[in-house]
Amino acid sequence: MKSLSQTLLKFAHLRFALLAALVALGAVATAGAQNPRIQTSQLDALAAKASQTVDVNIDERLMQLTARFLSSKDDDEAKVKELVNGLKGIYVKSFEFENEGQYTEADLEGIRSQLRNTAWNRIVNVNSKKEGSVEVYLMKTGDQVSGLAVLATDPKEITVVNIIGPIDLEKLTQLEGQFGIPELEIERAKPKRKN
Amino acid sequence: MNIDSDYLWDKTGKPDPEIQQLEEILGTLRYQPRPLEIPAGSEVRRNGDFFRDFGPRLAIAATIAVVLLGLGLWLGLQRLQRSQPQAVVKNANTPGPSVNPATASGRTPNEKQNQVVRLPDSDQKPADKSRRHRVNSALLAANRVRHEARKEAVRNPQLAVNDLQAGKAAKDQLMLALRVASAKLSFAQRKTQSTSPRDPVQNQHKIG
């Protein structure tokens, strides 16, 4: 009888330890899942094929350094300063190719698999055969935006934008055309309608 | 009792029986030379002085404590002397104030620097002369370092230029990143706004 109770006690301890380990694993997994940083290193191989590459990595330290060079007196710079205030990082990777077919969907799978995480919510998905597609993802912590990811593709271009921190989407969108940020005129001339 | 003083004096006279009896009785207590026997496990306690007992140990401990205290004071002074010049050099060399002299808090760099070296109650009445002397020496050291930094900047302007260039490069990168992000978001916004109202009309046409 005594040995049975001891065995049961051992099992109880084992179950408790197992439960604790599972809780710890879950916490680690949740913490990893909530990370708004997207790894884009798998796209680096495309740099060899690209005619133009943009790779911007601004971490929190560099962001603070840059913020010191933005004047609070100048209205435009003040807007940018306000926009980037509190951000923990901006990462952009863009590849432009001379010809179509330089990349495949498999190249983007690494990015998409990260964005399929439940922490990310796709808020915009634009698909255009001529102008490519743009997917905008947001990660929220409570009511606050904690991360933004933009995946824009067209036959000759791949762009991944990852902003860490509480970004104001409206202000960021309105930034185009201001303060030396020219409109890139991505929206090309529309074809005439046939009557 | 008949006492013969010679017997009592040097045992040459006639002995008295009572005295002999007394001698026999007390003879057992006579001194007999033998080695000192200390019982095992006995503890010898001395009613000594505390300082006499622990004096050497206390002296060693006090010496170590004084050496450590001195070392700590010396290191603290070294760190203080090292940190003051750094703060001043940072203010003197940082390109931020040169681009934008008005800092976020509205203070000039000199005011910030004074804040670094000023003691909390240094502007109160100068009751403590040693403290006032300390403030003055710190200010003097700061001024000296600032003067040297200025001379260095005059001698080697490339240093300040490098900092400025690094900051500008980082700013350019930030602007590029924001430009790309803004363009893509703007495109998505335009697309969503342009397609939403048009589709129902087109659908109506198709249906009609």
| pLDDT at position B46 | 64
A169·B187 Cβ contact <8 A:
no
Tokens read off for A136: 């905008």
pLDDT, tens only, A155-169: 999 999 999 999 888
Mean pLDDT of chain A: 80
CB-closest option in B166, B171, B180 to A70? B171
Angstroms from A32 CA to nearest CA on chain B: 25
| pLDDT at position B118 | 40
Contact status of B162 with chain A (Cβ, < 8 Å): no
Higher pLDDT, A174 or A98: A98
Nearest chain B residue to A184 by CA distance is B183
Contact status of B140 with chain A (Cβ, < 8 Å): no
| pLDDT at position B66 | 95
Beta-bridged to residue A58, according to DSSP, are A90
Nearest chain A residue to B165 by CA distance is A69
Where are chain A's structural domains?
41-174
| pLDDT at position A103 | 92
Q: Which of B185, B196, B205 to mutate to test the interface with A (most CBs of A within 10 A)?
A: B185
Tokens read off for B84: 């003051």
Share of chain B above pLDDT 90, in %: 10
Mean pLDDT of B54-77: 92
**Is 0.80 topped by the overall pTM?**
no
A150·B168 Cβ contact <8 A:
no
pLDDT, tens only, A91-130: 999 999 999 889 998 999 999 999 998 889 999 898 888 7
What residues of chain B lie within 8 A of the CB of A126, using their CB?
187-188, 191-192
What residues of chain A lie within 8 A of the CB of B99, using their CB?
69, 71
Angstroms from B96 CA to nearest CA on chain A: 6
pLDDT, tens only, A30-62: 555 578 999 999 899 999 999 999 999 998 888
| pLDDT at position B60 | 93
- Confidence class for position B70, pLDDT limits 50, 70, 90: very high
What is the spatial distance between Cα A184 and Cα B187, in angstroms, rounded to a whole number? Answer: 9
A134·B96 Cβ contact <8 A:
no
What is the spatial distance between Cα A66 and Cα A90, in angstroms, rounded to a whole number? Answer: 12
pLDDT, tens only, B76-125: 988 887 765 443 334 434 443 333 333 333 334 444 433 333 434 444 44
What is the spatial distance between Cα B155 and Cα A47, in angstroms, rounded to a whole number? Answer: 43
ipTM for the whole complex? 0.73
Q: Check residue B46 and report its DSSP letter.
A: -
What residues of chain A lie within 8 A of the CB of B180, using their CB?
54, 56, 92, 94, 159, 161
For residue B181, the tally of other CB atoms under 10 A from its CB is 27
| pLDDT at position B17 | 87
| pLDDT at position B62 | 93
| pLDDT at position B123 | 43
Beta-bridged to residue A124, according to DSSP, are A136
B188·A126 Cβ contact <8 A:
yes
Angstroms from B77 CA to nearest CA on chain A: 30
Contact status of B77 with chain A (Cβ, < 8 Å): no
Q: Which of B174, B196, B201 to mutate to test the interface with A (most CBs of A within 10 A)?
A: B174
Q: Which of A61-75, A117-131, B22-36 has the lowest mean pLDDT?
A: A61-75
Nearby residues of A152 by Cβ (< 8 Å), 6 or more positions away: A132, A133, A134, A135, A158, A159, A160, A161, B184, B187
Number of H helices, E strands in chain B: 7, 0
